[in-house]
Amino acid sequence: MIARDTGLPGIKVIEPSCYEDERGFFMESYNRERWLRNGIPHLFVQDNHSLSVMPGTLRGMHYQLEPHAQAKLVRVVAGSIFDVVVDIRRGSPTFGRWEGFELSAGNKKQLLVPQGFAHGFITLAANTEVLYKVDAYYSQPHDRGIAWNDPDIGIVWPLAPSVLSAKDAKHPLLRNAEMNFT
């Protein structure tokens, strides 16, 4: 298992050890002790699973307000995504900065998204399934989002979204968003 830091402090890319043989492969997709040793001490309390049928499905950019902010450990088990994080901690030197990563069933990469980041993705293949662990329970009253196409953030998506929920089509710009992260 390899865990690498990225250009955004706190964001990590994890590559689990994968054991291939003539049958296929086996990997430990999560091991608390090993992930803890690699800087991921989070106590995850909920597993999420989404299927996006169409390529170009964009889900994001989401976060939950304190005290229900979530760290996320994201991976793809079918298809492929361009996964994006935005630092939304007003006190952060990288406030408003974004970074994107390709996660796929093929590369088996995982992304750790700490609390204080907005998270979203666009699918690069049909029937893409995303699994992710979160360290705080879903709280609809604390669920928030920022616009996927906020010009002040300037996310460069690899393709235009073909599918977007009504909710994701009307999130505010970062400068108008409600946030309470320090």
- Assess 162 for contact with ligand T46 (CB under 6 A): no
Catalytic residue among 42, 132, 142, 171: 132
Q: How many angstroms separate the CA atoms of 142 and 63, rounded?
A: 8
SS3 166: coil
Among 120, 133, 150, 174, binds ligand T46 (CB under 6 A): 120
CA proximity to 102, closest of 118, 121, 117, 78: 121
- Assess 68 for contact with ligand T46 (CB under 6 A): no
Tell me the one-letter amino acid at 73.
L
Tell me the one-letter amino acid at 87.
D
- Assess 121 for contact with ligand T46 (CB under 6 A): yes
137 is a catalytic site residue: no
102, containing H or E segment = strand 98-104
Which x/- pattern over 25-54 shows residues binding ligand T46 (rule: CB under 6 A)? Answer: -----------------------x-x----
Which of 15-23, 24-32, 56-64, 170-178 is the region at the interface with ligand T46 (rule: CB under 6 A)? Answer: 56-64
CA proximity to 7, closest of 104, 105, 108, 117: 117
Q: Under the rule (CB under 6 A), what is the footprint of ligand T46?
A: 48, 50, 59-60, 62, 72, 119-121, 138, 165
Q: Where in the sequence numbering do the catalytic residues fall?
A: 62, 132
